[in-house]
Amino acid sequence: MNTERVILKTVDNIEIVGIYRTPPDATHAAILLHMMPATKESWDAFSTALEEVGYASLAIDLRGHGESVMLGALDYKKFDDPQHQATWNDVEVAFSYLKEHGFKESDIVMLGASIGANLAIQALMNHPATPLAIALSPGVDYHGVKTDMAIANMHEQQRVVLMASDDDQESYIDVKKLHELNKEQTTVIEKHGAGHGTRMFENDSALIKEIISLLPEK
């Protein structure tokens, strides 16, 4: 597998640092969006599992996190809601990077945790050929990054997997609200005592394999 640290420039001139992993002859790819607070490295174990089934992956540090801090000028702890919402540009530059490396929108899937889950769901609106978002601990509204309209207005071939644990009550309640908006194109997976976001990987040893099984076949 080829692993490369990449620096991507958004339309609003923010440098986003990511890890791009690609096995030989990969035809499908996943964009991986971390929770807050976390970094791209929170997806390392999952990226390895993706590689084993022939998927490339791009895990990015959202602006203000990890290495995407512009020499200390950006700190997510100080962001107002519009700054959190501007992370949409980080997702878009990740899409652009994968397209430049030969992946079609229809071969790209989204995975995200917490606010990253909301961004993953939102991405389906602007990328109608993207078939799937898997959302770990999403919410209806994280700092103005909202998911209700995206869920209600999904394109015909798209689907969203909404996953939350019963010890994470806010997300646990919100996934049910989101499912009610579009029962045909959403699936709810409930976990017990697994925690929030990518922390569920640590508390449920079978979860990575379970998520891999949900991906479109190559």
**What is the spatial distance between Cα 84 and Cα 58, in angstroms, rounded to a whole number?**
20
Q: Is residue 186 part of a domain?
A: yes
Kindly state whether residue 98 falls inside one of the protein's structural domains.
yes
Asked if 147 and 121 touch (Cβ cutoff 8 Å), the reply is yes
187 domain residue, yes or no: yes
- What percentage of the chain exceeds 70 in pLDDT? 100
Within a domain: 107? yes
Q: What is the DSSP letter of 86?
A: T
Nearest to 201 by CA among 55, 20, 34, 46: 46
Structure tokens at 131: 């078939």
Query: What pTM was computed for the model?
Result: 0.97
Contact 10, 20 (CB under 8 A): no
In degrees, rounded to 5, the angle at the alpha carbon of residue 183 between the alpha carbons of residues 179 and 186 is 65
**In the predicted model, is pLDDT for residue 217 greater than 90?**
no
Q: Does a structural domain hold residue 217?
A: no
- List the CATH number of the domain containing 197: 3.40.50.1820
Torsion-angle region of 54 (φ positive above 0: left; ψ -120 to 50: alpha; else: beta): left
| pLDDT confidence of residue 102 | 97
Indicate the residue type of 158: Q
Q: What is the pLDDT of residues 139-172, one digit of tens each?
A: 999 999 999 999 999 999 999 999 999 999 999 9
Residue 157 placed within a domain: yes
Residue 13's alpha-carbon distances to 5, 8, 9, 41, 174, in angstroms, are: 19, 9, 6, 23, 33
Task: Encode 130-198 in three state secondary structure.
Answer: CCEEEEECCCCEECCEECHHHHHCCCCCCEEEEEEECCCHHHHHHHHHHHHHCCCCEEEEEECCCCCCC
What is the tens place of the pLDDT at every residue in 37-80?
A: 999 999 999 999 999 999 999 999 999 999 999 999 999 999 99
What is the reported pLDDT for 139? 98
- Of the candidates 137, 31, 36, which has an alpha carbon nearest to the alpha carbon of residue 79? 36
Dihedral over Cα of 202, 51, 185, 150: its sign: positive
In a domain, 131, yes or no: yes
CA distance 89 to 117: 15
Structural domain that includes position 112: 2-212
Tens digits of residue pLDDT in 87-96 = 999 999 999 9
- 106 vs 128: CA distance, rounded Å: 8
- Mind listing the pLDDT tens digit for each residue in 93-117? 999 999 999 999 999 999 999 999 9
3-state class of 10 per DSSP? coil
The percent of residues in the chain predicted with pLDDT above 90, rounded, is 99
- Specify if 218 maps to a domain: no
pLDDT, tens digit (0-9, with 9 covering 90-100), for 177-198: 999 999 999 999 999 999 999 9
pLDDT exceeds cutoff 80 at 1: no
The two three-digit tokens of residue 184, written as one number: 């045909």
> In this structure, which amino acid lies at residue 173?
I
Would you state the pLDDT for residue 157? 96
If one counts the domains in the chain, the total is: 1
Q: What is the pLDDT of residue 159?
A: 98
Q: Given this model, what pLDDT does residue 218 score?
A: 66
